[in-house]
Structure 1
Amino acid sequence: MRYITDKMQLNLDSDTIVTLGKFDGIHIGHQLLIDEVKKGSEHHWKSVVFTFTSVQKLRKDKVEGNLLSEEEKKAYLDQLGIDVLISYPFDEEMRCMEADTFVSEILCKQLRAKKIVVGSDFEFGYKRKGNATMLQEWSEKYGFEVVVLEKVKIDDQIVSSTAIRKNLLSGQIEQVNRMLGRTYQIGGTVVYGNQIGGKLLSMPTANIYPAEDKLLPPNGVYATIVHTSYGMYQAITNIGYKPTIGGETKPGVESYLFDFNGDLYGQEIQVDFYTYERGEQKFDGLEALKAQMFCDREFGKQYFAKQEQKSMLFKQ
């Protein structure tokens, strides 16, 4: 996949089918747009996802942090088979660009768009004056086709990045996962911690620090599955500052993997979040912390046992 962040490299050398938006999370609604864009291969058009750097400036909820870091977004779109990802600088020139100029100069002249795929709530241009209806009205003039997809709903709630961020920040992990169409994931390189888990608590843990722009769920303990070079392991994961031990200045993600004895230091792992158990707590000492960690482990094992039982019942 070609990744473009420099506006000077925007002139593409072949016809394209383009979808536009913030694409934070690439949820099930975004995936429908991407599925439609990939149909352009029938005409030998390049599939293009057009989004912006600094998308937080464009959000109405003003939440800091992204459901997908930029690196995660690149990797996921590449996995989905997109040909070109454009992360366009949202600078003063772009902020003040009129909708018709964006269409004629960016979409038509530079991207050579033959088909444009957007959601029904898509807005663009100076003061958001452009929208999906306007694109349809201009389609004959500029010689492109427009496909407008309606918003997806789950339980009468519109699936959107805003709704997912709201659910994530309130610990509603199951709803987040339903809207994403996959589990919420946090990745990073395993680093050395204080090693108290292994030496004093007999429960060695893997510690990572997420990307700076990654949105984290509330501090606390979760049932998770951790992807490692050795395979996948059920786990419990704590997000936060380890208040019982102290000394942390930024939130970390610490996972205890069930039935795992390998060495993960320096390796990349991915943590999939399934459900929220409890908030982060400060205990009166290491023995109290150890007792709670054993309770958390039991919670995690029972959670996954129930999920496996549900899966077997569904298969029957």
Structure 2
Amino acid sequence: MIVLRDFDKSFFRKDSIVTVGTFDGVHLGHRQIFKTLNEISISGNLRKVAVTFEPHPRIVLSGDKPEVKILTTSGEKLRYLEELGVDVVYIIEFTRKFAETSAVDFYKDYLLGKIGLSHLVIGYDHSFGKNREGTFDTIKGLSAEHNFGYTKVEQYSVGNEIVSSSLIRKYLNTGQIDAATKLLGYNYSVDGKVISGDKRGQKIGFPTANIKVENTHKLIPAVGVYAVKVNIDFVTYYGMMNIGFRPTVKEKGSLLPEIHIFDFNEDIYGKEISVEFLSFIREEKKFNSIEELKLQLQKDKENLIKNLNHFINK
């Protein structure tokens, strides 16, 4: 898969099938779009192109509103798009200046002028251009004027819920990992670097790896204890992760993700690791003593190991 951040004339090809979107999370709804993209590309022998934006438009345009947290970093998104068979990804830097681009100018300058467009595949809620002025009717008009085909992919539901990035964020922000996983189609994950801590966990028999998530825009699930899968140097381990403030050992702690990895005692300080969330175990709580905390951690670990196959296979 070719990734382009600058539009190069040499990559213009009229035989391109194109989709446009932020694709945050690359969830099951997005995957219906790429499934359609693949099916049409085969019948017409077309180059598959995804146009996306960095940073997330809502980060740039949030103003006084709380900043949106993203489900997938740039690297994660590109990995998923490659797995879905995309040939070329064009990444447009989203700025306030770019946000002023009209809907018609965006399509004429970028899709028609710089990429080439034989067929367009868009989601049911696709809007584009300044103030999201471009609609499906705009696309119909452009299609007739510039002779390209288009397909609108209808909304995708799991059970009675329409799959969307905002709903997945809501579930993760409230610790509803199972619900988020069903809409994503895969385990939500967080990548980070293992940093040195105060080694309090080691002193009570539960050594932990403290994780620093480099991308400050990445969504960290709600405070609580989770069953997790940990990937270190292409080897998979299991464990439990606490996201919280450690109220039992600190009066005013800062938010910290820390993992206790089962049957593991290697030095991994400074290493990049990936943590997949399998299930929510319980809320974080303040215990009356370190001994009480230790007993609860032992109970959590025993229950998690006992039910590990359930978490892995559900």
Query: Shorter-chain TM-score category?
Result: 0.7 to 0.9
The 5 A counterparts of 1:291-310 are 291-307=295-311
Alpha carbons of structure 1 residues 301 and 59: separation in structure 2 relative to 1, 3 Å: farther
- Per-residue displacement from partner, 1:8-42 (whole Å, max 9, x unpaired)? 55773334221111211110011121223334366
What secondary structure is seen at the aligned counterpart in 1 of 2:75?
Answer: helix
Residue 142 of structure 2 corresponds to residue 138 of structure 1: yes
| Contact 1:222-1:278 at 8 Å conserved across structures | yes
Counterpart AA for 1:19 = T
Distance across 2 between alignment mates of 1:230 and 1:142: 48
Question: Counterparts of 1:296 and 1:139 in 2: how far apart (Å)?
Answer: 58
Q: Which moved more, 1:58-67 or 1:107-116?
A: 58-67
Q: Which moved more, 1:242-251 or 1:183-192?
A: 242-251
1:208 alignment partner AA: I
Determine the C-alpha separation between the residues in 2 that align with 1:94 and 1:111: 17
- 2:28 is matched with 28
Give the C-alpha shift of residue 115 in structure 1: 1.3
Residue number in structure 1 paired with 2:2:
2
Distance 1:297 1:10, change over 3 A: farther
- Conserved 8 A contact 2:175-2:223: no
* 266 and 43 in structure 1: CA distance in 2 versus 1, 3 angstrom threshold: farther
Alignment gaps of 5+ in structure 2: none
Moved more, 110-119 or 292-301: 292-301
The CA deviation string for residues 277-314 of structure 1, in whole angstroms up to 9 with x for no partner, is 22222333422221121122123223324447x77xxx
Q: Distance in 1 between matches of 2:219 and 2:172?
A: 8
**Counterpart Cα distance in 2 of 1:146 and 1:50:** 15
Alignment of 1:1-316 (within 5 A): 1-6=1-6, 9=8, 12-15=11-14, 16-39=16-39, 40=41, 43-55=44-56, 56=58, 57=60, 63-198=67-202, 200-210=203-213, 211-229=215-233, 231-246=235-250, 250-307=254-311
Residue identity matched to 2:86: I
Please give the secondary structure, in 1, of the residue aligned with 2:118: strand
> Scaled by the length of structure 1, what TM-score is found?
0.87
Letter in 1 for 2:55: S
Contact kept, 8 Å, 1:118 with 1:149, in 2: the verdict is yes
For residue 145 of structure 1, report the CA deviation from its aligned partner: 1.3
- Give 3-state SS (helix, strand or coil) of 2:25's partner: coil
Contact 1:223–1:303 at 8 Å: present in 2 too? no
Partner Cα separation in structure 2 for residue 135 and residue 193 of structure 1: 54
Give me the whole-angstrom Cα distance separating, in 2, the residues matched to 1:22 and 1:48: 14
Partner SS state of residue 282, structure 2: strand
Instruction: Provide Cα deviations, 1:170-192, integer angstroms capped at 9, x if missing partner.
Output: 11111100000001111112222
Could you tell me how far 1:103 is from its partner in structure 2? 1.6
Cα distance, 1:250 vs structure 2: 4.8
Per-residue deviation, 1:169:
0.8
Could you tell me how far 1:137 is from its partner in structure 2? 3.6
Q: Which runs of 4+ in 1 moved over 6 A?
A: none
How many residue pairs were aligned? 308
Distance 1:158 1:10 in 2: 39
User: Percent identical across equivalent pairs?
Assistant: 32
The letter of the residue matching 1:269 is I
Residue aligning to 1:314: none
Quick one: distance in 2 between partners of 1:243 and 1:213? 25
In structure 1, the gaps of 5 or more residues are 312-316
- Using the size of structure 2 for normalisation, the TM-score is 0.88
